[in-house]
């Protein structure tokens, strides 16, 4: 299998290899915080309370009956993003009709436009665990009342099947965790499914080539957390929220916007997919799952995103452009929300033996994910390769060990958004400086190692070596110099230094972690 993988990789055109060289060059520059030309740098990094809304003039309301709907992203039990305007919107067949709203002591209105859309904007508020009520009504027509609304922080979990994997499957690996699920928790979840999009497409009810205003799927709404509501929800998303809630006293809303088997260009904004040259998708047209699962939520702010995607790019040398494409995708998301929010990416896990034939370039895709992380501002990475398939598991493609990934992501969020802990003890270890010596030895100084480098298994370093341009090992000796530095001594001139660039990234084969036990992600950095 290794021979087949290497042969396939070496057929990649020299232009594609050049892209990797460019990415590697980015890694060696000081700071790695993005170019001044990066459009994301022009966006705010956090939600800051906007200016107070001006008093509205008296509406021109003739009292005629208004028939209307409220958008499905708005419901009882929701979490409204704090420090941001709250936009309530929907549709009506009565242009010119006036619709009123009341929320947290404020009364405002919106007028139905000529295209049938309406919106009411409410002032921003600080976080509150006190349940609030939203009331929407015309002078003459139906009154809608949404109850038990909290104000806090909203997160999105997106990606493909390992982001979509439901808690009902993963709970077998954390059987006691279900006892912690309570309706009284200040966690609210919004479940969407890939299948609802496909069903709507088949029925001719949605044009997935265009960004959708309304959510897809009848009856989708916000839920409190209970065994019944959490079991069909993203395991990664729930574990993240629950672990974060243990240290953060702010209501948390989690929107699931993942789609099993999706390629990146099915999840990226449609204009970016077109810009990058994508014309078809394996399941939906380019941007189709963004248009249906993500775009409807962009009219209200969020706090950040958890992302777990990439298996579908693990063949056909797609890894050569993945870092660039992911960066463009995230930039598209950020501009849609008008916020350079924290992007926490889950690096690909390890899988059963079948994975080596289905996804032969998975190790190199991991390296591309690390490259993307270094290319983006306000970006973070979570190692997953040690939480992969184990002998006896029923599913080689979908490891059930999502608890630890959620916990690691929550630790990052607690530091980045809520100021808990510090960088050295919260983020994953990574190379800080690499010294390529004249005697061919390589000295790597690592950061984010807490109180120092820790080997989670064994007595010697595993998985880190001098390599060729495909990550394949050159014979070398590896020694720990001190708590922050490792020296590699190869027998010949090294081309790159690699870590975890192989299919099985279990702790026995890739064993470097921080003193807190946070494992180092896979990477390949060229000389």
Residue 49 lies in a domain: no
Per-residue pLDDT, averaged over 313-327, amounts to 97
Judge if 413 and 431 occupy the same domain.
no
Residue 501 has pLDDT above 60, yes or no: yes
What is the per-residue pLDDT for 470?
Answer: 84
Task: Report if residue 69 sits inside a domain.
Answer: no
Q: Strand runs (DSSP E) across 323-461, as ranges?
A: 343-346, 379-382, 430-436, 442-447, 454-455
CA angle 41, 47, 50 (to 5 degrees): 110
- Is the per-residue pLDDT at 24 higher than 90? no
Same domain? 171 vs 271: yes
The 10s digit of each residue's pLDDT in 460-484 is: 999 999 998 888 898 899 999 999 9
Cα–Cα nearest to 117, from 206, 209, 200, 213: 213
- Quickly state the pLDDT bin for 509 (edges 50, 70, 90): very high
Q: Is residue 474 part of a domain?
A: yes
Which of 417, 445, 471 is the last residue before a domain boundary?
Answer: 417
Backbone angles phi, psi at 325, to 5 degrees: -65, -40
Identify the pLDDT of residue 36: 60
Cα 242 → chain centroid: 17
Residue 363 shares a structural domain with residue 449: no
Tokens at 478, concatenated: 């590896």
pLDDT of residue 393: 92
Read off the CATH number of the domain in which 457 is found.
2.60.40
Let me know if residue 80 belongs to a domain.
no
Query: Which residue range(s) make up the domain with 514?
Result: 426-526
Question: 72 or 14: whose pLDDT is higher?
Answer: 72
Q: Does 76 score more than 80 pLDDT?
A: yes
- Residue 143, domain member (yes or no): no
The CATH number of whichever domain residue 335 belongs to comes to 3.40.50
Residue 310 sits in the same domain as residue 442: no
**278 lies in a domain?**
yes
In this predicted structure, the answer to whether residue 489 has a pLDDT above a threshold of 90 is yes
Q: Are 266 and 410 in a shared domain?
A: yes
Q: Are residues 214 and 286 in the same domain?
A: yes
Quick: pLDDT tens for 37-48: 799 999 999 999
Q: In terms of domains, do 250 and 289 share one?
A: yes
Greater confidence (139 vs 34) lies with 139
Q: Which residue has the higher pLDDT, 4 or 69?
A: 69
Which positions ≥6 away from 288 have C-beta within 8 Å?
197, 208, 209, 266, 270, 281
9, part of any domain: no
Section 448-463 average pLDDT: 97
Residue 346 forms beta bridges with which residues? 382
Report the percent of the chain where pLDDT is more than 70. 93
What's the whole-number mean pLDDT along residues 131-159?
98
Answer yes or no: is pLDDT of 259 > 70: yes
Do 432 and 413 belong together in one domain? Answer: no
Residues 342 and 312 in one domain: yes
Average pLDDT of 362-376? 98
* Rounded mean pLDDT, 398-416: 98
Mean pLDDT of the chain: 92
Residue ending a domain, choose from 417, 447, 474: 417
For residue 7, pLDDT over 80 is answered with no
Listed in sequence order, the residues at least 6 apart from 184 whose beta carbon sits closer than 8 Å to its beta carbon are none
Residue 21 has pLDDT above 60, yes or no: no
| CA 139 to mean position of chain CA atoms | 42
Phi/psi of residue 51, nearest 5 degrees: -60, 145
26-30, 107-111, 232-236, 243-247: least confidently modelled range:
26-30
Q: Per-residue confidence at 22, pLDDT binned at 50, 70, 90?
A: very low
Q: How far apart are CA 221 and CA 217, in angstroms?
A: 10
Mean pLDDT value across residues 505-522: 97
pLDDT above 90 coverage of the chain, percent: 89
Question: Residue 471: what pLDDT?
Answer: 87
217: pLDDT confidence band, cut at 50, 70 and 90? Answer: confident
Q: Which whole number is the average pLDDT over 401-429?
A: 98
Q: What is the mean pLDDT of residues 341-356?
A: 95
Average pLDDT over every residue of 349-353: 94
Are residues 430 and 413 both part of a single domain? no
Are 173 and 295 in the same domain?
yes
Could you give the angle at the alpha carbon of 90 between the alpha carbons of 89 and 96, nearest 5°? 95
pLDDT at res. 218 = 78
Least trusted range by pLDDT, from 21-25, 155-159, 194-198: 21-25
372 and 499 share one domain: no
Residue 118 included in any domain: no
Taking a C-beta distance cutoff of 8 angstroms, is the pair 417, 302 a contact?
Answer: no
Q: Is the pLDDT of residue 311 over 80?
A: yes
Closest CA to 304 of 359, 376, 217: 376
**Alpha helices for 302-353 (secondary structure H):** 319-337
Last residue of one domain, picked from the residues 387, 417, 447: 417
pLDDT on residue 238: 98
Is residue 131 helix, strand or coil?
A: strand
Q: Based on the structure, what is the number of domains in the chain?
A: 2
């Amino acid at each position: 299998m290794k021979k087949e993988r290497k042969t396939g990789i070496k057929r990649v055109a020299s232009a594609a290899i050049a892209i990797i060289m460019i990415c590697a060059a980015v890694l060696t520059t000081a700071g790695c915080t993005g170019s001044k030309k990066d459009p994301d740098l022009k966006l705010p990094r956090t939600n800051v309370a906007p200016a107070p809304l001006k008093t509205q003039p008296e509406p021109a309301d003739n009292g005629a009956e208004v028939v209307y709907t409220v958008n499905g992203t708005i419901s009882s039990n929701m979490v409204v993003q704090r420090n941001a305007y709250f936009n309530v919107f929907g549709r009506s067949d009565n242009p010119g009709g006036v619709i009123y709203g009341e929320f947290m002591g404020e009364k405002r209105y919106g007028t139905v436009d000529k295209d049938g859309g309406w919106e009411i904007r409410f002032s921003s508020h600080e976080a509150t665990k006190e349940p609030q009520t939203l009331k929407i009504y015309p002078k003459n027509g139906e009154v809608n009342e949404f109850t038990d609304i909290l104000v806090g922080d909203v997160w999105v979990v997106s990606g493909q099947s390992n982001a979509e994997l439901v808690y009902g499957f993963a709970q077998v690996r954390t059987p006691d965790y279900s006892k912690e699920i309570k309706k009284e928790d200040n966690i609210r979840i919004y479940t969407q499914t890939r299948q609802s999009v496909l069903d709507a497409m088949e029925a001719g009810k949605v044009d997935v080539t265009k960004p959708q205003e309304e959510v897809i799927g009848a009856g989708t709404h916000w839920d409190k957390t209970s065994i019944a509501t959490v079991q069909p929800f993203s395991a990664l998303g729930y574990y993240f929220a629950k672990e974060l809630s243990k240290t953060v006293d702010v209501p948390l809303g989690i929107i699931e916007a993942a789609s099993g088997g999706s390629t990146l260009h099915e999840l990226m904004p449609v204009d970016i997919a077109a810009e990058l040259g994508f014309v078809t998708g394996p399941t939906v047209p380019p941007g189709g799952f963004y248009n249906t699962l993500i775009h409807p939520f962009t009219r209200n702010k969020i706090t950040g995103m958890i992302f777990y995607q990439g298996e579908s790019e693990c063949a056909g040398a797609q890894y050569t452009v993945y870092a660039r494409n992911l960066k463009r995708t995230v930039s598209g998301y950020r501009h849609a929300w008008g916020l350079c929010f924290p992007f926490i990416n889950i690096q690909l896990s390890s899988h059963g033996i079948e994975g080596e034939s289905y996804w032969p370039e998975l190790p190199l895709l991991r390296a591309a994910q690390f490259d993307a992380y270094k290319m983006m501002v306000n970006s973070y990475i979570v190692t997953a390769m040690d939480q992969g398939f184990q002998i006896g598991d029923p599913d080689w493609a979908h490891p059930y060990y999502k608890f630890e990934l959620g916990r690691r992501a929550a630790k990052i969020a607690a530091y980045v958004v809520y100021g808990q802990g510090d960088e050295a003890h919260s983020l994953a270890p990574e190379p800080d400086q690499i010294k390529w010596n004249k005697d061919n030895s390589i000295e790597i100084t690592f950061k984010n190692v807490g109180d120092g480098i820790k080997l989670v298994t064994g007595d010697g370093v595993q998985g880190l070596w001098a390599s060729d341009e495909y990550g394949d090992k050159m014979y070398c000796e590896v020694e720990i110099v001190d708590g922050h530095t490792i020296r590699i001594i190869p027998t010949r001139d090294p081309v790159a230094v690699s870590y975890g660039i192989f299919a099985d990234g279990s702790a026995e084969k890739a064993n470097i972690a921080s003193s807190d036990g946070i494992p180092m992600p896979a990477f390949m950095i060229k000389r």
